Structure 1
Amino acid sequence: MTALPETPAPANPDETLRLDRFLPYRLAVLANTVSKGIARLYADRFGITIPEWRILAILGAFGAATASEIQGRSAMDKVQVSRAIARLTEAGMIQRTVDAADRRRQTIAMTAEGDQVYREIVPLARAREAALLEGFTQEEREMLDRLLDRLQARAAAGETP
């Protein structure tokens, strides 16, 4: 077995990345932890995955949409959206309708079954959200909301070096 080459220590300690304090890493870990916590509430009971729930949540909040619109609202990649749409269609929770004016375009909408699942999950998700925010004052919640909006806007605008 060959030994791995030693990684030289940075000459300047400021060059060391403290991953546990690095904002993009922390946000990713937090998002995954929160999503997995909520997923435990619905995965076994309804047999759906995180991407599938996100699609139902988008359709429940905004109504029928195209796959591209879902992708834009969810920040999921095209493959994730496509696979989740296929599974939800097979499970009878959503249906696709071909646009009469543009046969390449399909609109995706929840079926009655999908709407029922959505309505059962929403209170579970909201209760989880309330538990996460428990102990925060109303002012802190509003500040967190504003800060997240600002971070999202900056990230979307590509305001990074």
Structure 2
Amino acid sequence: MRSFLMYLGALAVIFGLMQFIPTYEKSNPPVEISKEIKVPKEVMAIFKRSCYDCHSNETKWPWYADVAPMSWVVRRDVIQGRKALNFSTWEEYSDTKKQELKKQIFRSVEFAMPLPQYLWLHKDAKLSKEDKEIIRNWASDGKGYIESVIR
């Protein structure tokens, strides 16, 4: 019993010390409406519910984003998400980049996004079959499929 309490105490000390490891500050850069993605309301509602926390400058930072080690994971996911695709700066992308991102969105909504670890705590972000169809229809410019170029 005594050794269990010692291990438990050691874990508590380690957890406490982890809170002092610096991470980048949580931030939401200003959003300029003119640069934000322009999509139909039904698509925007899905994006806001399921994508915007990691893929926009409008992240809703949860309380656990201040508690290590979860803070490290949350902040990493937001940084990588914004780097890959940022709906808040969509209009800054070239037309070619927008088309490539739409192809990636078309493919990723089926199986990869939102990330499983995000869905653990955000059940409402799970994409229904109808949500996926709406997004894929938008991403394919209404065709329902994405043309591939074979090289």
Structure number with larger C-alpha Rg: 1
Larger % of strand: which?
A: 1
Q: Per chain length, whose mean CA-contact separation is higher, i.e. which structure has more relative contact order (CA < 8 Å, sep 6+)?
A: 2
TM-score, L = length of structure 1: 0.29
TM-score, L = length of structure 2: 0.30
